Amino acid sequence: MDKHKIKEAARILSFAHFPIALTGAGISEESGIPAFRGEGGLWAKYNPAEYAHINAFLENPKKVWQMLKELDGILRAAKPNPAHKVLALMEAEGLLKGIVTQNVDNLHQAAGSKRVVEFHGNAFCLRCLSCGRAYKKEDMSSEQPLIDLIQDVPRCHCGGLLKPDVVFFGENIPTRALLEAQVLTAACDVMLIIGTSGEVAPANYLPYDAKQHGAKIIEINLEATILTEAVTDIFLQGKASKVLIALEEEIRGMRGKKS
């Protein structure tokens, strides 16, 4: 890890007025959830382009639900890792104003982050494709989905097909999440990008929007991405948890010196 770059990033963050984070699958990789790109058992078995496309789901919901059940087991077992916790701490200390996440795993909220925009939805919720009714998987007080025993897929009480409330390829971003992400991006003077390949649109437009109005871009990733050359001011190479811990310690040290 480049100590000089950590110091520079810490200085920028500690003087920022409205720093935000944009996170991707890489931040949850250390919680045991494989990212799409890079090595990952689940995605080597199920091609996301095939299984995570809305047309694939509509054509063969049973096949996609089989993959979703396997993913569900992984998501349920996952706990926030130090990277999620550092971001929650930074928000509590006023060093971060919000997070736009592409992840659907609920781990930012589980770590204690308050202002989280779920750009691609949340895998712990289900929505009916016919009537729009939402179900929370964990909420036993609410009515539970019906199980279609012939198809082995969950169904709504109206009979409609249930789909996890996540954005599949080929679907639009929910308007509210899109607007909230755009508002945070428009307001930010620093964007901390963590664990995203920058390959998935339209989430990958946000760093360009931020850059365009003069925000500083700090990127944390194991390797350079298509964003690194295009928009990044400071690239911090390494695992999200290790880099974020170092960054938070550096900021703490600077604050100690200031007071």
Active site members:
120
Contacts of 4 (CB under 8 A, 6+ apart): none
Cβ atoms of 224 and 238 closer than 8 Å: no
Half-sphere exposure of 142 (CA within 13 A, CB side): 13
Question: Per CB under 6 A, does 30 bind ligand NAD?
Answer: yes
Contact (Cβ atoms closer than 8 angstroms) between residue 49 and residue 169: yes
Q: Which is nearer to ligand NAD, 200 or 247 (CB)?
A: 200
Cβ proximity to ligand NAD, 105 vs 250, nearer residue? 105
| Residue closer to ligand NAD, measured from CB, 120 or 216 | 120
The answer to whether 67 and 46 are in contact (CB under 8 A) is yes
Residue recorded with tokens 């599949």: 168
82, 103, 128, 218: residue in contact with ligand NAD (rule CB under 6 A)? 103
Contact with ligand NAD (CB under 6 A): which of 2, 7, 38, 182? 38
- Interface map 228-257 toward ligand NAD (x if CB under 6 A): -----------xx-----------------
* Interaction between residue 36 and ligand NAD (CB under 6 A): yes
Q: For residue 12, which of 242, 233, 243 has the smallest C-alpha distance?
A: 233
Nearest residue to ligand NAD, by Cβ distance, number only:
26
In the complex, the smallest distance separating the C-beta of residue 221 from ligand NAD, rounded to whole angstroms, is 4
Residues 131-170 that bind ligand NAD (CB under 6 A): none
128 closest CA partner among 75, 69, 76, 61:
61
